[in-house]
Amino acid sequence: FLVAASVIVCLDGLTQYFVTFGPTLDYLHQLRQTGQLHLEGWGLGIIEDFFQRGRIFSVFGWPNLLAGFLLLIIPLAVVLSTGAANRLGQVAWGGAAGLAVTCLLLTLSLGAWIATILTASVVLWLLRRPAPAAGRTGLALGPARLLAGGLLISVALLGTSIIISRRAAPTSSSPTTRA
């Protein structure tokens, strides 16, 4: 149930990224120019920064919270994918894991990327040797290695390129200094 619910959360996040960020940012600027928006003390600069950089947050309201949720869901989806009884289950659970990884990258949460890289590295290290015949649980370790390795490579490569573009992106609000 959790993985199925995460698919809905991820689809909402992708809708934010591809459909609603631009119009919402334009609407916020319009409200600010007409004097109808008075949220300066309520983190408006942070909210605008999310929209400008394209940091998805879905129903969680904050990109880091979404990233934390996805960090819990991705391993579960990978395990369900490798342990599925038929090909359809493997594709469905694997697709859910891929969707969650895509949304994890779009949160632009550096801490979540580091945690994902460390977790995938540990999983690959644990899977370096085949399990003894008596202790086998029926899981195919080949696909688990492939998924963990693909996750590690995709987060490392895509995360690096997003970090570079994130650092180069201008922000609308300048940091305020306290007296």
- Using DSSP's 3-state secondary structure scheme, residue 35 falls into coil
Q: What is the pLDDT of residue 133?
A: 56
What is the tens place of the pLDDT at every residue in 90-106? 899 989 999 999 999 88
The single-letter DSSP state of residue 34 is T
What is the tens place of the pLDDT at every residue in 121-173? 777 676 666 655 555 554 445 666 666 666 666 666 666 565 555 555 555 44
Distance between CA atoms of residues 80 and 90, nearest Å = 7
Task: Specify the residue for token string 């998924």.
Answer: 147
Residue 44 φ/ψ, nearest 5 degrees: -60, -35
What is the tens place of the pLDDT at every residue in 127-139? 666 655 555 554 4
Distance between CA atoms of residues 142 and 176, nearest Å = 52
pLDDT average, residue stretch 108-116: 85
- Judging by beta carbons within 10 Å of its beta carbon (0-12, 13-18, 19+), is residue 148 exposed, middle or buried? buried
- Using DSSP's 3-state secondary structure scheme, residue 44 falls into helix
Amino acid at 89: G
pLDDT bracket for residue 57 (50, 70, 90)? confident
